[in-house]
Every structure is written in C-alpha cells, then in structure tokens.
Amino acid sequence: MLALHEMIPASGKKKKRVGRGGSRGGTSGRGHKGQKARSGGNVAVGFEGGQMPLYRRLPKRGFTNARFQVETQIVNLSDLDRVFSDGEKISRQELIEKGLIKRLKANQSYRVKVLGNQSLSKKLEIHVDAFSKSARASIENGGGQAVANKEK
C-alpha cells in the first residue's frame, strides 16, 4: 500500500522548500523586495511593466484560415478489418462508438477519411467523407461499397 511519505510528484523531482532556515537566508533566493519577491507575486507572460507589450506593438498582417479550417480524422483499413464484422454498414457514428475517431465539440467541423494501408478481407459498406484511391479499390475489390458523403 502506498503511504504519503513514499509518494513522488509527477515531474519526478521534489520541489525545494525554501525559507525554512538554512543556507538560503531570509530572502529564500527571491532577491530583495519587488513584485517577484512577494508571495503570489508573479507577472503575466508578455507583461512589460505597463509599457505597450511587444505583441501589441508589432503590426498584424496577412490572412489566417483558422476559423474556417476543417480537421480530417483518419481511419485505416486495418482498423476497420479488426473492429467490424463482415457485412456491416459503417458511418461516422459507428466509428465514434468503436473509438476509431474522436467525438469533437458541436461547433467543430471535421471530415473522416479512410486510408488503404492494407487489403480489406471483409465485405463492408462504408459511408464517410473521403477515401484514398487505394482504400476505395481495396473496399470494392472485397465486394464492399465505398460511399463518399457530399461536402457541406
């Protein structure tokens, strides 16, 4: 059984407890006075003492597509072969339930793409957003169907 005195922090290093007497003296390695010497006194990242911070002084230029980007979640044929049985119909919901893709937040858009890293030994009907050429060929050679959903 684990006892409290045997526990170690996740970082693996023991935090140094300063200011308990010993060689560090009264300032405990914090220097003399000032905001960073006080308890709880820390400065936010990028704070420059009230001066206009660098990230606000620099010009903002260019275009970013971050608001409109669509994440692609990848599923390999080997995973489909391993998880699903012969003759099953597979859609995004079944992939989430089996844990092959992650469920994202409601406002995030994503597409699912099947990649063909090996041949498929089962007859599967797969309804996802995209297929690689090798994945589509492998599914159809196995007698299954590869149906691409229409883009929104």
**CA 21 – CA 23 distance, rounded (Å):** 7
Handedness of CA 129, 135, 137, 141 (dihedral sign): negative
Residue pair 112/101 in contact (Cβ under 8 Å)? The answer is yes
For the full predicted model, state whether its pTM sits above 0.85. Answer: no
| Structure confidence by residue, pLDDT tens digits, 50-91 | 999 999 999 989 998 888 888 899 999 999 989 998 888 999
**CA 51 – CA 88 distance, rounded (Å):** 63
**CA 139 – CA 51 distance, rounded (Å):** 62
3-state class of 4 per DSSP?
Answer: helix
**pLDDT band for position 151 (50/70/90)?**
low
| Structure confidence by residue, pLDDT tens digits, 134-146 | 999 999 998 889 9
What domains, with CATH codes, occur in the chain? 72-148 (3.100.10.10)
